[in-house]
Chains A and B, each alone.
Chain A
Amino acid sequence: MSVQASPTLFMAMATAATATSAHPDVVSIARVAPPSSLRRTRSKEMWARALRVRFPATLNRGRGFASKAGPQGKVQEAGQGTHSPRLATQGAGRVPAAKIEHLERLALVNFGSREAVARLEKAIAFADQLHAVDTDGVEPLESVLEDRCVYLRSDNVAEGNCTEELLRNSHHVVEEYFVAPPGNISLPDLVNKTPSPTAE
């Protein structure tokens, strides 16, 4: 579908271009006439044609997504010539348990289930496609505004004094302090003692 469609789409455009240029009078009449009528009639025909286009393989398309990106890791058909990214992953590598614990510790977020780890592995495999790109001599882009001098306001106190409003949103406050549990107990010490709250 893709390769045939690509030249057809743009060949059609090229044909249209020669057609209109052969009839300059038609184009100018359309513009001189009351703006909406002629153009709208022509447009209406175009859109009517669009609606008459049979929409083939709706079901295939729906199924297509389900099967192509399934957890079995089938590779999506890229189509000859086009470079569609592989949405599914092949051979997602296993992330070692130590790394999983390390990530949980850093993020302070629990994986909670084997499926979540599998999702991470798929995400990594998906990201691995980046390595195919040649980025020699390319600087990383941090902001699209890098060529500009962004504004920094002057270091003057312009607002504040909103202690009450800010404290209002916290669950545990004593006088003007946010209250936190003791901070000198690191998480791994508690891994065996605190039951995991998830039930996945």
Chain B
Amino acid sequence: MLGRTLREVSAALKQGQVTPTELCKKCLSIIKKTKYLNAYITVSEEVALKQAEESEKRHKQGQPLGDLDGIPVAVKDNFSTSGIETTCASNMLKGYIPPYNATVVQKLLDQGALLMGKTNLDEFAMGSGSTDGVFGPVKNPWSYSKQYRERQRHDEHGDSHWLITGGSSGGSAAAVAAYTCFAALGSDTGGSTRNPAAHCGLVGFKPSYGLVSRHGLIPLVNSMDVPGIFTRCVDDTAVVLGVLAGHDPKDSTTVQDPIKLPMILGEMDVSRLCIGIPKEYLVPELSSEIRSLWSQAADLFESEGAKVIEVSLPHTCYSIVCYHVLCTSEVASNMARFDGLQYGHRSGIDVSTEAMYAATRQEGFSDVVRGRILSGNFFLLKENYENYFVKAQKVRRLIVRDFMNAFDSGVDVLLTPTTLSEAVPYLEFIKEDNRTRSAQDDIFTQAVNMAGLPAVSVPVALSNQGLPIGLQFIGRAFCDQQLLTVAKWFEKQVQFPTIQLQDLMDDGSLVLENGKLTSVSLT
């Protein structure tokens, strides 16, 4: 059952082949077995079982709510969930229990999805490794896969060579990759959904800015944040997007365009497609394997009759700098709300309001967060505002124009790498600080956030080391469905292999034949 698509499982639930409670219990047991991944901050076992019970009642009465009824999902811990602790992996919000659900969470619950828990992340979603949260780093399930381990020469007795998931939504990625749920919500501000998706062999989707509500998503960069979706196949993403997309009166940055539902991805005539390859994305740091796969993907489209052309996004080299300035500035503003008075951590110092605020923020925020706040405040100083913040906004317009020009020249979809390399070992990753790593790792993904375009990372193949590599498709604004249709076609061509997780295979939880998941025991 776990290896099936959402629609298949939903059909099985409707036909009574499996019950929501069985599915729920199975996923909870896998969560326990894969605890070492540290993917979850909070496992909402009781909530999930209760939801499963209610879903079962509905199914028995023949009245399921939809394709997501009875389906286990996970949510990144920067989405507010009523009655369930929401921490953003920070001391500042430890113990904080929101009184409301984020709109996207509410939509999932309204469709009967089972909330397995809140997943781990980098503190306040700042980072590209999911290593900087107060609950510890998330481990990439592929570190424990047969595909990776059999290619390693050194002894794997120690656990010291485990790999990062990428970030900042690493917990959600690990949760889906390890079969603890069918879909997970992440957030994407600079690539935080697409980056871990590529490292964990998943489909990571970033919707157009304005398509999905941000109400309840604890904000990082208001002008770039969007909720992101992790699934094991593109069709599942379409199912989830169909539920989440749409105008929300509580988020005035959601557009009111009508969306055609249900979101079903049809067949595509590749010969009518025009794929753009941005030449500036061919950087020296790109691994040769990914470069080769990128090239072969382009060849594949071309061999099927698509037009593949080179395009230029001339301001690409400045986008990471621009992003850095805008991001830290907006962060400085958004983090100002954490003062300990109304919610969250409060320092014991109460000599004065400002002393209390300062101490609270000192105790509650990590170095990374404080660093970004201070940088942001620097760029927002009166003397720097024009030269840094406004300048960055102008450069942002140039970057957006680059994309518009590329699409206006007839390109339907851009094809780029998602990451510079496959997932690296944690010990390697932490040799550089958070800002440096983010600047390196976000290189292919953040320009998309600045332009508000939809993008998706699709897993393509395994590297020589047996680790997943993903490629990114970028579409025109609000052409999310078309983008997913292209991604779905591509996914079918590449036939990315299933992860062979030793633990789950050893105890019979997952059964694979020829690298494909054939059955899962529900005991």
Q: B15 contacts the other chain (Cβ, under 8 Å)? A: no
Query: Are the C-beta atoms of A185 and B351 separated by less than 8 Å?
Result: yes
Query: Are the C-beta atoms of A108 and B354 separated by less than 8 Å?
Result: yes
The number of residues on chain A lying at the interface, defined by a beta carbon within 8 Å of a beta carbon of chain B, is: 103
Contact partners of A151 in chain B: CB under 8 A: 247, 249, 252, 254, 256
- Quote the shortest CB–CB distance from B480 to chain A (angstroms): 14
Decide: A170 near B400, CB < 8 A? Known: A13-B299, A84-B283.
Answer: no
Contacting residue for A130 out of B325, B440, B494, CB 8 A? B325
Query: Are the C-beta atoms of A165 and B99 separated by less than 8 Å?
Result: yes
Q: Which residue of B lies closest to A198 (CB)?
A: B362
Query: Are the C-beta atoms of A197 and B363 separated by less than 8 Å?
Result: yes
Beyond the given pairs A120-B374, A131-B387, A190-B354, 15 more chain A to chain B contacts, judged by CB atoms under 8 angstroms and listed by A's residue number, are A20-B305, A27-B305, A62-B424, A82-B280, A106-B381, A116-B370, A116-B371, A123-B371, A133-B398, A142-B393, A151-B256, A170-B341, A180-B356, A183-B353, A185-B353
Decide: A69 near B346, CB < 8 A? Known: A51-B464, A53-B289, A61-B285.
Answer: no
Q: A94 contacts the other chain (Cβ, under 8 Å)? A: no
Q: Which residue of B lies closest to A113 (CB)?
A: B367
A142-176: CB near B (< 8 Å → 1, else 0) gives 11110010111100000000100110111110000
- Quote the shortest CB–CB distance from A7 to chain B (angstroms): 10
Contacting residue for B354 out of A49, A142, A171, A186, CB 8 A? A186
Name which of A55, A108, A120, A166 has the most chain B CB atoms within 10 A of its CB: A108
Residues of A22-65 at the interface with B, using a CB-CB cut-off of 8 Å, are 27, 30-31, 36, 39-40, 42-44, 46-47, 49-51, 53-56, 61-62, 64-65
State the A residues within 8 Å of B (CB). 1-2, 5-6, 9-10, 12-13, 16-17, 20, 27, 30-31, 36, 39-40, 42-44, 46-47, 49-51, 53-56, 61-62, 64-66, 69, 77, 79, 82-85, 87, 95, 99, 102-104, 106-112, 116, 119-120, 122-124, 126-127, 129-133, 135, 138-145, 148, 150-153, 162, 165-166, 168-172, 178, 180-187, 190, 193-194, 197-198
Query: Are the C-beta atoms of A85 and B256 separated by less than 8 Å?
Result: no
Q: Which residue of B lies closest to A70 (CB)?
A: B432
Contacting residue for B99 out of A12, A79, A144, A169, CB 8 A? A169
B346-384: CB near A (< 8 Å → 1, else 0) gives 110111111111110111010100110111011101000
Query: Are the C-beta atoms of A20 and B283 separated by less than 8 Å?
Result: no
Contacting residue for A182 out of B247, B352, B373, CB 8 A? B352
Query: Are the C-beta atoms of A17 and B302 separated by less than 8 Å?
Result: yes
Query: Are the C-beta atoms of B374 and A131 separated by less than 8 Å?
Result: no
Q: Which 7 A-B pairs have the closest CB atoms?
A: A140-B393, A144-B452, A83-B317, A185-B352, A141-B397, A165-B99, A135-B394
Q: Which residue of A lies closest to B379 (CB)?
A: A127
Decide: A133 near B318, CB < 8 A? Known: A43-B300, A168-B99.
Answer: yes
Query: Are the C-beta atoms of B282 and A127 separated by less than 8 Å?
Result: no
User: Chain A interface: which of B3-11, B51-59, B101-109, B290-298?
Assistant: B290-298
State the B residues within 8 Å of A (CB). 96-97, 99, 209-210, 223, 247, 249, 252-256, 277, 279-280, 282-285, 287-289, 291-293, 295-296, 298-300, 302-305, 308, 310, 315-318, 320-322, 324-325, 328, 332, 339-344, 346-347, 349-359, 361-363, 365, 367, 370-371, 373-375, 377-379, 381, 387-388, 390-398, 400, 421, 424, 428, 431-433, 435-436, 439-440, 450-452, 460-465, 477, 492-495
How far is it, in angstroms, between the C-alpha of A102 and the C-alpha of B400 when the chains are bound?
Answer: 34
Contact partners of A140 in chain B: CB under 8 A: 390, 393-394, 396-397
24 A–B contact pairs at CB < 8 A? A13-B277, A13-B299, A16-B299, A16-B303, A65-B431, A82-B280, A82-B283, A82-B317, A85-B439, A87-B436, A107-B374, A109-B358, A120-B371, A120-B374, A123-B371, A124-B375, A127-B324, A142-B223, A144-B451, A150-B252, A172-B346, A182-B351, A184-B352, A185-B352
Interface of B is mostly: helix
Q: Which residue of A lies closest to B269 (CB)?
A: A31
Decide: A150 near B253, CB < 8 A? Known: A185-B351, A194-B351, A198-B362.
Answer: yes
Query: Are the C-beta atoms of A53 and B424 separated by less than 8 Å?
Result: no
Query: Are the C-beta atoms of A84 and B302 separated by less than 8 Å?
Result: no
Contacting residue for B318 out of A55, A110, A130, CB 8 A? A130
How far is it, in angstroms, between the C-alpha of A184 and the C-alpha of B353 when the chains are bound?
Answer: 8
How far is it, in angstroms, between the C-alpha of A186 and the C-alpha of B358 when the chains are bound?
Answer: 11
Contact partners of B324 in chain A: CB under 8 A: 123, 126-127
Contacting residue for B375 out of A120, A162, A190, CB 8 A? A120
Query: Are the C-beta atoms of A107 and B299 separated by less than 8 Å?
Result: no
How far is it, in angstroms, between the C-alpha of A30 and the C-alpha of B363 when the chains are bound?
Answer: 63
